[in-house]
Amino acid sequence: MAAFQPLQPISRFLLPRGPLLLRPQTRLLMQHATGLRHASTPAKGLSAEFLRRKAAQQQKATPVIPQPDIYRPPSHGSRKPNRNLENRIYGPPVSEEDKKRMATKKYPNMMSPEGSFSFWFLHDRGIHMWITLGILVTLSIAAWYMDFLSRTIYAELLPTRRDFVRHPYDTTKRFIEVYKMHMEYTSQLYTQQRLKKAEDVDKRRQYRLERQREAELKGEEYVEDPRYYVGEDGVRRRRVKRWFGIWE
């Protein structure tokens, strides 16, 4: 009679894929058939012993070895420091004259003492405000003067710096005269531009009226271009559409 042979597990990739409930449980068959235990399966007999040893190890306190005094540094004595002796001053008491002298003494690499000129210069708000405003005014005057030199046509009539040093009064008077000439010239330019603009507006208005008369004589209706409109100043401009407040 043939001996009983244990069942051999079938490889997973050889089994057909079916529902989970209908798949054969090969691991259970192997355990019941061969009686072997996998390494990943925890042993029941060692779990209680393992927990007991772990609890005993946790109950043990960490041993503390006392530090001998021979290795203790001088800055960390064995006794607690006395807080009352921290602000103690060794030597004779400091007098009022010594305090005043120490307050006004200049120490290297430190801020200037009170009462000195450098302390006043660094902490006074008035002197800082005066310096700041002086720099801003100087820069604004320099910018205005450079712009004036780049725009005026009378730059050759302006006095030089040497003349200002030698004759400041006459140089200032001459500069004012040249500046008045420059202002008169710019006023004339602006007046001519304004008159030319008004003349152009009048010509456009006359042109539109003439077109309307021609249309009336021919019996036609004069229709203006809806793409343009005439503003309050008489200038004909193109209408611009807006979408959500943004120019087209």
Whole-model pTM over 0.85: no
CB 226, CB 239: distance < 8 Å: yes
Judging by DSSP bridges, how do beta strands 242-243 and 228-230 pair with one another?
unpaired
Helix (H/G/I), strand (E/B), else coil: 246: strand
Contacts of 30 (CB under 8 A, 6+ apart): 7, 9, 36
| Mean pLDDT for all residues in the chain | 78
Q: Between 15 and 30, whose confidence is greater? A: 15
CB 117, CB 124: distance < 8 Å: no
Closest-CA residue to 158 (of 181, 178, 144, 184)? 178
**Separation of alpha carbons 112 and 106, rounded Å:** 6
Helix (H/G/I), strand (E/B), else coil: 59: helix
| 126's tokens | 């008035």
**Separation of alpha carbons 218 and 220, rounded Å:** 5
**Separation of alpha carbons 117 and 102, rounded Å:** 17
Residues in the chain: 248
pLDDT value, residue 40: 54
| 59's tokens | 């109950």
Q: Average pLDDT in the 226-245 region? A: 73
Tens of pLDDT along 110-154?
Answer: 888 888 888 899 899 999 999 999 999 999 999 999 999 999 999
Distances, alpha carbon 9 to alpha carbons 20, 29, 141, 202, in Å: 18, 8, 102, 109
Tell me which amino acid residue 200 is.
D
Tens of pLDDT along 41-95?
Answer: 555 556 788 888 888 888 777 777 776 777 777 777 777 767 666 666 677 888 8
How open is the CA angle 16-22-23, to the nearest 5 degrees? Answer: 50
**Separation of alpha carbons 230 and 239, rounded Å:** 10
Using N-to-C axis directions, what is the helix angle for 125-151 and 168-218, rounded to 10°? Answer: 60
**Separation of alpha carbons 201 and 232, rounded Å:** 11
Q: Between 177 and 234, whose confidence is greater? A: 177
pLDDT value, residue 33: 46
pLDDT value, residue 43: 53
